[in-house]
Chains A and B, each alone.
Chain A
Amino acid sequence: MIDLVLDILSWILLILGGACVLIGGIGGLRLPNFYARIHAASLTDTMGTILIFVGMMLQAGLSLATLKLFAIMLFLLLTGPTATYALANTALLSGLKPDAGSASDELEEDEPK
């Protein structure tokens, strides 16, 4: 009984997480300019990560695997946003003006320095 509930729950989480990742991906492709895109990307590595990992933990139940998964999640939660920050920062330093709604920076955005 409880297993079933856990299973369903975990699947829901997994699917949601998958959805987040998917949305993040689509956003990364479709959004007009760089800063908007990294928002989408950040969605992937925060929300997506959390949901999927929790789902998987539920799948694994209480075991060494869970612990490992938790560690990995922690790690991702630390690194992901940092990477995003670094990216945005570099973009700013390399003279990319945050100017919402314009697709003007396409050119530079092709070559992140």
Chain B
Amino acid sequence: MNLLELLGYFNYWVFAIILTVGLYAVINKNNLIKKLIGLSIFQSAVFLMYITMDKVEGGTAPIIQEGVEGQIFSNPLPQVLILTAIVVGVSTLALGLALVVRINECYGTIEENEILDAD
């Protein structure tokens, strides 16, 4: 297996690890902001997966220069999808943080267990 192939697997594994790290934070942390950070990590792992699959050996960014013949381009489609996904991610994050702020105002804490005790 050549270097590129190894790197391919390595990419996917890193994706898996980051995904799990993020999810772990979401599941196991009590602090709501920490949960949100974990969520954003979790999501960016998925971005990595998509972008990894768009790479073409010896390819360049899919921007067609005039008059240059026979270039290889990497796959533009996953990039488009991830552009969308990134913005979706940040939107969710903003909303979540707004909620956290309000929760902090109503409950005086942002630790989940304390909030549950409060009600």
**In the complex, are there CB atoms of A and B closer than 8 Å?**
no
Chain A residues at the B interface, C-beta cutoff of 8 Å? none
